Amino acid sequence: MAQQARAIRTRQAILEAAAAVFADRGYERATVGEILVRAGVTKGALYFHFASKEDLALGVLAAQMLDEPLPPHPLKLQELVDQGLILAYRIQHEPVVRASVALALDTGASGIDRAAPFETWIAQVSEVLAAARDQGELLPHVDIEDTAELFSGAYAGIQTMSSVLRERRDLIHRVVVFFEHLLPSICTPVLLTRIDISEGRALELAAAYAAQQRRSDDDTPADSED
């Protein structure tokens, strides 16, 4: 068990180092050697977890996805809002998530599947929208796939603009404004007042997610080695 816990920490340290190097240098200019130095691990340890620089990049890209799902909500459109708000918070506060988003938009990162995070995000949004439709939360004209792709593309653009103009300091606000304009075009009017799209909701979700991660860490056996 201790060995497993150590392996989890080593893998996370490598991912964090790779994210930092990709952010500083870009994917093409980054080298495995730089990542090794930043992570402070041996080449053997790195290659035990990741087969190549491309594999490292895919690991960083996957960091956008939550380790644990958010708690379900009776309103599926609230779940959609919650996914957007918690991602905005994590982009602001988690360097690996910021690097993941930047890597997905790095047009110079040839040789890696940058489509994967977009496809995963679109699939998740489509699933939530389909459940919302089944519960009568969507207006009749809403096309699930088109709306999911619009959502994902618009979100990518919003976070990019926030990065360029404000270093993402206003990202949660911009995402709130996005939902304020999106939801009336897809949601049945009677439900709009029941969906919380406030910045306070983002902070509540972040606190709950952090507590959930701490509980998961507590369940991981401690390593006796330094």
Percent of the chain with pLDDT over 90: 74
pLDDT band at 116 (very low <50, low <70, confident <90, very high): confident
Q: Is the pLDDT of residue 122 over 70?
A: yes
Contacts of 112 (CB under 8 A, 6+ apart): 27, 54, 57, 58, 61, 103
Q: Could you please report the per-residue DSSP string of 14-27?
A: HHHHHHHHHHHH-T
Q: Is the pLDDT of residue 223 over 50?
A: no
Give the C-alpha separation, 153 to 133, whole Å: 21
Domains (range + CATH), the chain: 2-60 (1.10.10.60), 63-218 (1.10.357.10)
Task: With beta carbons less than 8 A apart as the criterion, state whether 109 and 103 touch.
Answer: yes
Helices (H), ranges, 62-108: 76-93, 95-104
Q: Which residue has the higher pLDDT, 63 or 177?
A: 177
Strand partners, 138: 187
Sign for the CA dihedral angle at 48, 54, 60, 66 comes to: negative
**pLDDT at position 6:** 83
- Cβ count near 173 (within 10 Å): 14
Lowest mean pLDDT, pick from 1-5, 96-100, 132-136: 1-5
Percent of the chain with pLDDT over 70: 93
Q: What is the pTM of this model?
A: 0.87
What is the three-class DSSP state of 138?
A: strand
Kindly state the average pLDDT of the residues 206-225: 68
Cβ-count burial of 73 within 10 angstroms (0-12 exposed, 13-18 middle, 19+ buried)? middle
Q: Is the pLDDT of residue 220 over 60?
A: no
Token pair of 45, please? 């340890």
User: Model confidence over 147-196: pLDDT tens digits?
Assistant: 999 999 999 999 999 999 999 999 999 999 999 999 999 999 999 999 99
